[in-house]
Every structure is written in structure tokens, then in C-alpha cells.
Amino acid sequence: MRIPEAKDPVAALRTALPEAVLYAKDFRGETTIVVHPQHLVAALQFLRDTPGLVYNFLSDISSVDYYPEPPTEQRPERFAVSYHLLSMLYKRRIRVKVFVAEDEPEVDSITSLWPAANWLEREIYDMMGIRFRGHPDLRRVLLAEDWDGHPLRRDYPLGYEQVQFSFNVEEIIKHKPLAEE
């Protein structure tokens, strides 16, 4: 069987789904396509199933919180979710990125395309608080079920105890919640 010629993913996606692509950029040989959240599933399915692209392996899903910085034209919202795809046929990678609004952090789940996305999306929900529409079982995966908040958000407090030195140890011990028998 002849393997079809490899296509340029950005041009192919722009031709097939022109309304989906916000912009694309290249940085040190890595291609990133920023897509509109409404067309995320369609764009990923196109990248996976089109001959000449065949990004058939979902390496990872990651999320970003740009909290203290104000939004810009390139980065319109506070959160972003990145999908890292690998084409095992053409031995190349691509990153697909969507921006997620702060007041309603929700994107479509891609568990219908890759079942492996299940726990990756649960982890992002757990640590970053971004919900996934259509996920079959969106529970916390790392932290305890009754955990308050989402710790990887930039506005989450880092620790909850001062470091003890000889000058402040008595003050800290005074407020330490020691256990009873």
C-alpha cells in the first residue's frame, strides 16, 4: 500500500474548516494552531482522520493559566487548553490550542475521539477547574474528593504554614493545630 504524500496541517485545516482556525504559529519547529472552542472537536477529528495528516496519537492534554497578565489579541482569555498530537505515520507533532473564558471555564470533551483523554481531562478539571462538556465521568482524579478549589490556578495559595526559624518558632507553635489523643 502506498502512503499518501504528507500535507501541510495548517493549510489543510484552513481550507477544510476556515471558520475554526483563529491563527497558527511556528516556534522552533513546533507548530501551534489556535482554534475556536466551538470547532475544537471537528478540527481534531479532521487532523486525525484526513489522509496526509493522520495525527492519530494523543500524546497529552495540558492547560495554562495566564492569571496576572491582562488579555491580549493573541491571548484573548485567561485559560488555555493544549492538545498535543503525534502522527505515528509521518513522525511529526502538532499542538492544537483553545482559549477558555474565566467566568465559564468549559470546553468540549474529546473522549469521543480518543478514550485516553478521559483521565487527562479529569486531571485538568481537578487541578485547573476547567470543565469538559460531554465527559462521561468528570470527577477529581488526584486530590481528595472533598478538596476545596483547584491548586494549579495561579491565584490559589501556595502553602499554609510559615517556615520555622528560631526567632518565630514560638509564635508558629502557638497557632499550630496539634492533634488530640
Tell me which residues touch another protein (CB under 8 A). 143-144, 151, 156-161, 163-164, 176-181
- The candidate with the shortest Cα–Cα distance to 125, out of 101, 98, 159, 152, is 152
Cα–Cα dist 164/171, whole Å: 9
CB closer to another protein out of 38 and 164: 164
Q: Give me the least distance between CB of 41 and another protein, in Å please.
A: 33
b/e burial code for range 145-174 (CB count within 10 A of at least 16 → b): eeeeebeebeeeeeeeeeeeeeeeeeeeee
CB closer to another protein out of 110 and 127: 127
What is Dmax (Cα atoms) for the chain?
76
Determine the 3-state secondary structure of 65 from DSSP: strand
CB closer to another protein out of 73 and 181: 181
Show Cβ contacts of residue 32 under 8 Å, excluding neighbours closer than 6 positions.
24, 25, 26, 82, 94, 95, 96, 97
CB closer to another protein out of 14 and 140: 140
Q: Give me the least distance between CB of 156 and another protein, in Å please.
A: 7
Q: Give me the least distance between CB of 150 and another protein, in Å please.
A: 11
Q: Give me the least distance between CB of 181 and another protein, in Å please.
A: 5
